[in-house]
Amino acid sequence: MSLIEIKTLINADIQTCFDLSRNIDFHTVSLIHSKEKAIAGKTSGVIELGEWVTWEAHHFGIKQQLTSKITEFERPHYFVDEMVSGAFKSFKHEHIFKTKQNQTLMVDKFQFQSPFGILGKIANVVFLKRYMTKLLTTRNAFLKLKAEELS
């Protein structure tokens, strides 16, 4: 299993960061380059514990679908979304929020397993981990910008 951990310091309150991170509409805008859109389950607004969403997106030139569910939730400090079905063998994305002197430290811990056995492990080393890190970093930079704009 691979782990990506990204820390983002944001000049905004914890509740704003927490809510933006769970907002389906914001997520869609933040990843517009991959044509990501919610097509089933919770398709708009803020997602809550037990709710799920199916995303359709273009990655590596291929249209893909992925369904994830909110499996853990502690407002405004923590939530987890886990893959129910999709291209990965599995993934668990922990979203952690901590207040640090009038700022919010947002920590993403993204654990995933590539499909296809040894071929998946090679793909992970060659490009997948780097691709996912860039995707999460892009989303976090957009979230930071929007949260600071709202504060």
**Beta bridge pairs of residue 9:** 105
Report the CATH number of the 2-150 domain: 3.30.530.20
Nearest 5 degrees, angle CA 38-CA 80-CA 19?
Answer: 65
Cβ contact 121:114 at 8 Å: yes
pLDDT at 39 over 90: yes
Give residue-wise pLDDT tens across range 93-120.
Answer: 999 999 999 999 999 999 998 887 777 7
Whole-number Å distance between alpha carbons of 28 and 32: 6
Mean pLDDT of the chain, nearest integer? 94
Q: How confident is the model at residue 19 (pLDDT cuts 50, 70, 90)?
A: very high
| pTM for the model | 0.93
Domain chopping of the chain, boundaries: 2-150
* Averaged pLDDT, 20-26: 98
Q: If residue 135 lies in a helix (H) or strand (E), which one and from where to where?
A: helix 129-150
